[in-house]
Amino acid sequence: MRRICSRPSIFCFGDFIMAKKKKTSTEQVIHSTEPQGINLDHSKKKQILENIVHGIFLLLGLIAVGCVLLITVYLFISGVPAIHKIGIVDFLFGREWASTAADPKYGILPFILTSIYGTAGAVILGVPIGFMTSVYLSKIASPRVKSVMQSAVSLLAGIPSVVYGLVGMLVLVPGIRKVFNVPDGAGLLAAIIVLAIMILPSIIKMSVTALDAVPKEYEDASLALGATPIETYFRVSVPAAKSGIAAAVVLGVGRAIGEAMAVMMVAGNVPNMPDSLFQSVRFLTTAVASEMAYSSGLQRQALFSVALVLFMFIMLINATLNFFLKRDGNK
Amino acid sequence: MLNQPLSKKRKRYELLLKALMLLATGLTAALVLFLLLYTILKGIPNITWELLSTSPSYLEERIGILPDILNTIYIVIATLIIVLPLGVGAAIYLTEYAANKKIVSIIEYAAEILSGIPSIIYGLVGMLLFSNSMGTCLMAGALTLVIMNLPTIMRTTQESLKTVPQSYREGAFGLGAGKWRVVRTVVLPGCLDGVITGCILSIGRILGESAALLFTAGFAHAVNGIIEGLAAPGATLSVALYVYAKEQGEFGVAFAIAAILMVLTVAINFATTFVQKFFAARRS
Amino acid sequence: MGSIISVKDMCLWYGDYQALKDLNIEIPEKSITALIGPSGCGKSTFLKTLNRMNDLIPGVKITGNIYYEGTDIFSNDVDVSHLRKEIGMVFQHPNPFPMSIYNNVAYGPRTHGITRKVQLDEIVEQALRDAAIWDEVKDRLKKNALGISGGQQQRLCIARALAIQPKVLLMDEPTSALDPISTSRIEDLIMELKKKYTIVIVTHNMQQAVRVSDYTAFFLLGELVEFGKTDDIFSQPKDKRTEDYITGRFG
């Protein structure tokens, strides 16, 4: 029950006035035992106040919509000109980014591929860990362990990205340099590991919720057929929760592709094609972050175009997420 | 018949999955523990009274994070003051006023989109929308953070409004109270827990935010009062951490800030759980 | 006729509460035994003890013995998985897995190590035929099991239980969630199944007990009050309490 008052919906100003008139007349009827003169005046004033308040709340409600529109419009307005000038093919599929060269090149394929590889790597690394942890927490762990781990996971979600970046710079990057014996540890692999850790909380939280919601009847049926508890969790509970788990993964993808600062601190930040795991690379996010401060002219416009491409990726991910959530909701 | 053991294949499957689950859970736990202990242990030796109480000076070769602490407080206050009425109002509209399902779903979808947009994009849009007109300053950063945190406040308030029993509202309407009066007297007090939870979550997000602030609030380190502070550019703790670590290589200071942020993150987590438990207990 | 399950002095506690008291019962092979009694009398608890589904509930303590074909099912070297393969179960509410009809039935055999497609196809078809649902679903084996009617779902669950070739089938009020037509189909099916299986069925419905069962056990407050041929129990109960219950004076 969301609706309290049976008043007709109010959209535009015309409806607004009509609704106001209707309401006034009903109130008159209700209060007809009271002295007419005073009451009419009073209730009219009250009604005006009610309508004003309603209008204000409507405006507040629409702010979120306004913000989305504003962001979309601004990104398009500022992102499209550079794409137009550079040419969409040269922009999206150009393999070289040299924004400050005498003959500047604005190809963002390295950024796009880095973002895709980096996110894919984070998913390959983070999803199995998050998934296995979720099954353990949802099905096996004692209530105590579960609640302690859930607060630990919330903590992981709350750690600022710059802290991830800092620890990555001082632990991960030197670690990679030593273990793999490469000249510089800052690069794609370091970014992938940091992102994998950063997406863990989203994956775990959402998967645990989905697994907790699996009806116990399914599990009982499986156990009664002689399956062991673990066989039951992986062959019945997990398939039953697959939409929720898929949504968790998509959410993680969204997190990974949008992360800027932590990646900026460990990825080396050179606009190379991501040819190897140890290559120093730039993501879509870090491309924007690293040049914005001192950019101008076409370079600056191109950075907005990069942001636009990133935004498109995010919207695509949002749509996928919604698809999975809706499918789960309909079941 | 009954007492033959489980087949080897099934036993292997059991053991393998059990091992993988324990390994994964252990790894997650170890990661949290490591991040917590590492930053705090590396940070604490660097936290001195001088660091906390001064501003940086090249002449005296001194780094102080007082301005960053103040900026963080200012930006938190400014953001919350603006976002609270907006978010709470939007939530009230959704749960109390909106009669049209389509409007509700559009607004909720918009909020969902907002919470999925990466902070670097907020940074860019904030720069275009606010910094270009009012200059790079804390206020421009705060306004950007307002948009970012709007969905959080909306969601937590909405959740708590849903727990206000319908009978309270009906009771108040039955007494002849107008809608606005019912909202003021019955609905608003009922969403207190949602508002508090939303505030705590938002503070956490603001403390950790850096990408959205770099181009909107800038990274100056000057000690100001709150009014001139909001009008001037300034770095919050997270931004300062980034600048000291990435641009200046001052890792000691960076770890000091990281330790402070970690302790605050832990505190915020506890506060959220506490608030939720407190209100849940009071409600039942 | 010999007994396939014999229960000796069995008691069951939920924490401090004793739910079953000193039960002794011999369940005859290839026949239908109905467990009746008012709600909370322990008949469902007893049923779930027979395939050790109560093991899952924390705080449950069991004393005494239950022998299945001479083996104590609580002995340490008995694997619960094998026990449940021998003693299958059908639940009160139809609970097919949210997967295809075929995969529902094939779940059990796969769990117990059968992976060859040809063999699985054979088992699935036979189980669906035995559960009298083959003709209705043979053209949509790959469709989701949640898409068929409640009565069909319950017969699918019976097929799923039959696919691992158990000897005993435990049924916990299998028709209480179904309409009269589906109920009568399932009752016919149960009577057909007793040729090959031993069936223990919990029911709230006296008529159902009379219609389908060969033996009846009457439970009250965790005790087995009376056990005997269904005809005898319903025509000349030995115990006053049984008489009161079956004539509808309480419960």
Please measure the distance between the N-terminal and C-terminal CA atoms of chain A and give it in whole angstroms: 21
Q: A318 to chain C, minimum CA–CA distance in Å?
A: 26
Per-residue model confidence (pLDDT) at position A26 = 41
Q: In what order do the strands lie in the sheet with C215-220?
A: C87-90, C168-172, C198-202, C32-36, C215-220, C223-229
Provide the pLDDT for residue A328: 59
Q: How confident is the model at residue B247 (pLDDT cuts 50, 70, 90)?
A: confident
Q: How far is CA B182 from the centre of its chain?
A: 31
Is pLDDT at B53 greater than 90 in this prediction?
Answer: no
Alpha carbons within 13 angstroms on the beta-carbon side of residue B67 total 23
Q: C178: left (phi > 0), else alpha (psi -120 to 50), else beta?
A: beta
Q: Tell me which chain C residues have a C-beta less than 8 angstroms from the C-beta of A239.
A: 97-99
Q: What is the pLDDT of residues B102-154, one digit of tens each?
A: 999 999 999 999 999 999 999 999 999 998 889 899 999 999 999 999 999 99
* Beta strands per DSSP E along chain A: 97-98, 105-106
Q: Which chain B residue lies closest to A137 (C-alpha atoms)?
A: B25
Cβ–Cβ < 8 Å for A147, A245: no
Tell me the percentage of chain B whose pLDDT exceeds 90.
62
C209: its two tokens: 């007990």
Structure tokens at C48: 């779930």
**pLDDT value, residue B189:** 85
Backbone angles phi, psi at A99, to 5 degrees: -75, -25
Using CA atoms, how far residue A23 sits from A12, A16, A18, A26, A51, in Å, is: 17, 11, 9, 5, 10
On average, the pLDDT of chain C sits at 92
**What residues of chain A lie within 8 A of the CB of B186, using their CB?**
none
For residue C57, the model assigns a pLDDT of 83
pLDDT at A39: 61
Query: How far, in Å, CA of C115 to CA of C110, rounded?
Result: 6
User: What are the residues whose beta carbons fall under 8 Å from the beta carbon of A122, sequence distance 6 or more?
Assistant: A192, A195, A196, A198, A199, A252, A256
Nearest CA in chain B to A201: B28
With an 8 Å Cβ cutoff, are C88 and A231 in contact? no
Position A107, amino acid: G
B59 vs chain A: nearest CA distance in angstroms? 26
Listed by start position, the domains of chain B span: 8-46, 49-283
A226-A230-A236-A242 Cα dihedral, nearest 10 degrees: 180
CA distance B35 to B258: 10
ipTM of the complex: 0.92
- Mutation for A interface: B132, B185, B242, most A CBs within 10 A: B242
Taking the CA atoms of chain C, what radius of gyration do you get in angstroms? 18
- Which chains, if any, share at least 3 CB pairs under 8 A with chain B? A, C
Residue by residue, DSSP assigns B111-123 as HHHHHHS-HHHHH
The count of CB pairs under 8 A between chains A and C is 64
Tally Cβ neighbours within 10 Å of residue B66. Answer: 16
- Domain B49-283 carries which CATH code? 1.10.3720.10
**Amino acid at position A144, single letter:** R
Weakly modelled stretches of chain C, pLDDT under 50: none
| Mean pLDDT of the region B23-34 | 97
Identify the burial level of A79 via C-beta atoms within 10 angstroms of its C-beta, where 0-12 means exposed, 13-18 middle and 19 or more buried. buried
Q: Which residues of chain A have pLDDT under 50?
A: 1-36, 330-331
Query: Among the residues of chain B, which ranges form H helices?
Result: 8-43, 49-53, 66-92, 101-116, 119-126, 132-134, 138-162, 166-174, 179-182, 188-190, 192-208, 211-214, 226-231, 237-242, 251-283
C-alpha B50/C-alpha B64 separation (Å) is: 7
Task: Using a CB–CB cutoff of 8 Å, tell me whether C206 touches chain B.
Answer: no
What is the per-residue pLDDT for C1? 59
Cβ contact C97–A331 (<8 Å): no
Question: Any idea which architecture C3-246 has in CATH?
Answer: 3-Layer(aba) Sandwich (3.40)
Structure token digits, residue A279: 């290559």
CA distances (Å), origin A299, targets A102, A113, B180: 12, 20, 52
Q: Across the interface, which of A226, A239, A331 has its CB nearest the CB of C108? A: A226
Instruction: Flag whether pLDDT at B39 surpasses 80.
Output: yes
Q: A260 and B118 in contact by Cβ < 8 A?
A: yes
Give contacts of B 107-126 with A, CB under 8 A. Answer: 107, 110-114, 116-125
Partner-chain contact A64 B151, CB within 8 Å: yes
Among B67-71, B116-120, B275-279, whose mean pLDDT is lowest?
A: B275-279
Q: Can you name the CATH fold of A97-330?
A: MetI-like fold (1.10.3720)
Number of inter-chain CB pairs under 8 A, B vs C: 28
Q: What is the DSSP letter of B6?
A: P
| Interchain CB distance below 8 Å, C68 and B2 | yes
**Domain parsing of chain A, residue ranges:** 13-85, 97-330
Q: Do the beta carbons of residue C33 and residue C50 sit within 8 Å?
A: no
Asked whether the beta carbons of B112 and A66 are under 8 A apart, the reply is no
Q: Considering only CA atoms, which of B67, B36, B77 is closest in space to residue B265?
A: B36
Q: Model confidence over B142-185: pLDDT tens digits? A: 999 999 999 999 999 999 988 888 888 888 787 777 788 888 88
Cβ proximity of B204 and A158 under 8 Å = yes
